């Protein structure tokens, strides 16, 4: 397996960081996990043409994870993509289709088929990829109920073989079902408390890649402690397992 972190920055844009997106090449399949602003630029930069990505998998709808998706789809149809595209969405698939139409982006006019799926269908199409719900959006519960919104507050982490990507999380505890036997974990190092990040040391993971920014406490800790198997994410370099 090879993966490239296109964007390791937090939700607040930084000059030298991209927004969330990870490209994974595994057993002949090319997957894009999250699609922050600038993802189409990153595909061009890495010579990945319009037909190479098989599926796009969106962990949750915060803009730093999805803001590049419409442009990427626009690039695919303007470049006359011919291969079917599987798009896995965290929730509210019909509403996403309406957003495409709102943007005058009609799949009926494209040279390729777009298949939209709820995340729950991921395992049926890509059995090698497991999706696990996380606690990232639970803090919106009260507001969503108060406003009577249809938001389902779904956010997902993913595992392929001995590799996993947490996307955004409140605690690393919520990842417990996917942490055993991992070689590499790409983890949100911004939101969880320091103690939660350090808890990962107990799982014997060979390499923990600190992604999506660093909390101030973690940044301080890294200055004064042996990082061991914790490394800060580097963008646009291939990692291999």
Is residue 68 within 8 A of residue 94, CB to CB? The reply is no
From the CB of 171, what's the least distance to Zn ion, in Å? 15
Which of the ranges 3-11, 80-88, 110-118, 170-178 carries the binding residues for Zn ion, by CB under 5 A? 3-11
- Among residues 37 and 64, whose Cβ is nearest to Zn ion? 64
Q: Which of residues 160-179 bind Zn ion (CB under 5 A)?
A: 168
- Among residues 135 and 168, whose Cβ is nearest to Zn ion? 168
- Token couple for 10: 């937090």
- Under the binding rule (CB under 5 A), the answer on residue 34 touching Zn ion is no
Smallest Cα–Cα separation from 33: which of 42, 20, 46? 20
Q: How many residues at the interface with Zn ion, by CB under 5 A?
A: 3
Which residues are CB-contacts of 236 (< 8 A; sequence separation ≥ 6)?
A: 4, 5, 6, 42, 45, 46
Residue 212 Ramachandran class (φ > 0 left, ψ -120 to 50 alpha, else beta): left
- Under the binding rule (CB under 5 A), the answer on residue 37 touching Zn ion is no
From the CB of 38, what's the least distance to Zn ion, in Å? 14
Is residue 136 within 8 A of residue 168, CB to CB? The reply is yes
- Under the binding rule (CB under 5 A), the answer on residue 91 touching Zn ion is no
From the CB of 58, what's the least distance to Zn ion, in Å? 12
- Under the binding rule (CB under 5 A), the answer on residue 64 touching Zn ion is yes
Burial class (CB in 10 A: 0-12, 13-18, 19+), 185: buried
- Among residues 114 and 175, whose Cβ is nearest to Zn ion? 175
The residues that touch Zn ion, with contacts defined as CB under 5 A, are 11, 64, 168
């Amino acid at each position: 397996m090879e993966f490239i972190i296109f964007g390791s920055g937090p939700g607040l844009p930084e000059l030298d960081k991209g927004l969330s997106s990870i490209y994974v090449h595994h057993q002949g399949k090319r997957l894009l996990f999250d699609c922050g602003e600038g993802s189409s630029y990153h595909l061009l930069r890495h010579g990945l043409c319009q037909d190479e990505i098989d599926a796009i998998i969106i962990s949750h709808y915060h803009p730093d994870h999805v803001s590049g998706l419409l442009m990427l789809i626009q690039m695919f149809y303007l470049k006359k993509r011919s291969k079917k595209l599987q798009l896995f969405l965290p929730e509210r698939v019909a509403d996403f289709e309406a957003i495409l139409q709102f943007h005058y982006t009609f799949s009926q006019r494209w040279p390729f088929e777009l298949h939209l799926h709820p995340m729950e269908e991921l395992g049926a199409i890509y059995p090698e990829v497991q999706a696990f719900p996380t606690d990232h959006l639970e803090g919106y519960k009260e507001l969503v109920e108060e406003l009577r919104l249809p938001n389902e507050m779904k956010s997902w982490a993913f595992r392929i073989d001995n590799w996993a990507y947490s996307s955004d999380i409140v605690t690393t505890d919520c990842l417990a079902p996917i942490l055993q036997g991992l070689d590499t974990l790409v983890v949100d190092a911004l939101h969880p408390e320091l103690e939660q990040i350090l808890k990962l040391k107990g799982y014997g993971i060979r390499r923990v890649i600190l992604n999506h920014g660093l909390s101030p406490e973690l940044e301080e800790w890294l200055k004064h402690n042996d990082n061991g198997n914790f490394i800060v994410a580097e963008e646009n370099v291939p990692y291999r397992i």
